Amino acid sequence: MEVQRAAEEEEEEVAVDVQVTDLLNALIAWKVPEDLFTISSLKASFETLFRSFDPEVQFQYFRSFRRVRISFSDAAAAAEARLRLHRTDFNGTEIRLYFPQSVHIGSPRLKPPKPEKQFLISPPASPPVGWEQSHDATPVINYDLLCAISKIGPGETYELHTATPTTPSVVVHVCEDEQGLGPTVADCSQQEKPLAPRPKIVQTRRPDFMPGAEQ
């Protein structure tokens, strides 16, 4: 039942209402000449073609897309302009006119998120009923293992996990301390012995100052 309910919720989220509306009172001129955006006389000639159908026509130029939006006062003027000017020649380029479309995805009204997802919003809203914050688990420290490892001397090994037919063994190899810089073998019940002093790092000497050198 839970699997079926989850599948139904996914189908509800995937099924989105998409509405496409044609804007019949406007046209989009597609791939217009590049000179149309820079030469004023060419722009005036282009606008004259459409003002013969509607004196109140308005133009919006999109140079990056090489398109022009032509808005008419009514749909009849837009339909007549497309019927007569579509695929006609203008300054050596074929004019292509299309009706723009407005795409609405989902409901036109904004719906609030589902209650079980509201606590993921930043800043968070009220959490759902019954929701409780989880607490981090307390770290587990194996003192027996730490004690056994501390008793291992240099060059010795300690098997942490015995091998099985399906898993390998885990063995700790302690490196030998040739220079005597590392800690010595210490028992857990005894006090820790002081470590040997660490070697001093010699700082690199700064070059002598030369007055003749350019800074």
d(CA 48, CA 53): 9
Q: Which is higher by pLDDT, 49 or 17?
A: 49
- The answer, yes or no, to whether residue 38 has pLDDT greater than 80, is yes
Residue with tokens 């479309």: 101
pLDDT digits (tens, 9 = 90+) for 132-183: 777 788 878 888 877 777 777 777 777 777 888 888 888 877 776 655 544 4
pLDDT digits (tens, 9 = 90+) for 94-123: 989 998 876 666 666 777 767 666 666 666
**Contact call for residues 72 and 53 (beta carbons, < 8 A):** yes
Question: What mean pLDDT value characterizes the chain?
Answer: 76
Residue with tokens 């339909």: 79
- The answer, yes or no, to whether residue 71 has pLDDT greater than 90, is yes
* Cα-to-chain-centroid distance, residue 58: 39
State the alpha helices, DSSP H only, in the chain.
2-14, 40-51, 75-85, 143-150
CA distances from 166 to 123, 159, 161, 163, 202 (A): 48, 17, 13, 8, 51
pLDDT band at 188; cut points 50, 70, 90:
very low
CATH class (in words) of the domain with range 21-105: alpha beta
The domain locations on the chain are: 21-105, 142-161+169-177
Per-residue pLDDT, 184: 46
pTM assigned to the model: 0.41
Max mean pLDDT range (13-22, 70-79, 114-123, 128-137): 70-79
